[in-house]
Amino acid sequence: MRHTVPIASQFYVTAPQPCPYLEDRFERKLFTSLQGMDAGVLNNSLSKQGFRRSQNVLYRPACASCSACLSARIDVAKFAPSRSQKRVLRRNAPLRRLRIAPWATEQQYDLFRSYLDARHAQGGMAEMDIFEFASMIEETPVTSRVMEYTRSVGELTAVCLTDIFDDGLSLVYSFFDTSRPQDSIGTYMILDHIEMARETGLPYVYLGYWVPGSPKMDYKARFKGVEIFRDGQWRQLDSEDDFSRDKNLCEFKSISQQVAQIAMPEVRHSHET
């Protein structure tokens, strides 16, 4: 006998920490464990509701007085490259993509370290050693791949850890050679994932969080077809949108209210009688 039951996950909240995107703000995250045979189903479902994966954890911002962090994705059918993005594609045409299983290498770690030193020397990952790096790449309970981008001489230029959803590709974490800023390699990897999604019939490319007003996040809004998850639904990003209220919430939902509004997926299990 087979019956359908909802996945019963426990949700937790982190202690407040300084926000990495907005000054004088504190972030707080709602999270749940991602494990077991239903991990892929849970990842697919909660990612459509603004959650992101980090190793075996799914999390979503749950800040006490701010909701500026908005999950972003690109509708592949609505995307068309801008003139500057076409130039990025031409500049990076010599790159070759190798799609491999999520397995960390010393070459990847060396590139990762140089990327952090150049871009995020004061960030939360700055002290990550090679064993922690390996955990970030390899500890995945869902379908994931590592995209390695190399030049013709075999020089590793960029890496992206990518999750494969039932409706798209998710760029979990990427890093690249920062010595060639004119190449815009970060933008190129997004463009390449859009093409991969198009080739495989997947409708979306998930970009993580976008924060209006944060210079670190501006590039995500430059892609045509970008959608944001706001007020419980996905909607097209509009240049006329007013996000001032998101940064200065006078009223906010409690953690219990937020959890109650999460739609948990149902799975079918066999039961012997």
Largest CA distance in the chain: 65
Is 3 in a helix, a strand, or coil? strand
Asked if 191 and 81 count as a contact pair (C-beta separation under 8 A), the reply is: yes
* The pLDDT value given to residue 121: 67
- How does pLDDT run across 47-68, given as a tens digit for each residue? 999 999 999 999 999 888 788 8
Tens of pLDDT along 179-213?
999 999 999 999 999 999 999 999 999 999 998 88
CA–CA gap between residue 206 and residue 48 (Å, rounded):
9
CA distance 8 to 147: 33
Give the model confidence (pLDDT) of 18-30 as tens digits. 888 888 888 899 9
When pLDDT is cut at 50, 70 and 90, the band that residue 250 belongs to is very low
Residue 78 near residue 225 (C-beta atoms within 8 A): yes
- pTM recorded for the entire structure: 0.90
Q: How far apart are CA 220 and CA 164, in angstroms?
A: 20
Distance, in Å, from the CA atom of 29 to the CA atom of 255, rounded to the nearest integer, reads 10
Adjacency order of strands within the sheet including 226-230: 96-100, 144-150, 156-164, 168-176, 204-210, 70-75, 226-230, 233-236
Domain ranges of the chain: 2-270
CATH code of the domain made up of 2-270:
3.40.630.30
What is the mean pLDDT of the segment spanning 154-175? 96
Of 171 and 121, the structure prediction assigns the larger pLDDT to 171
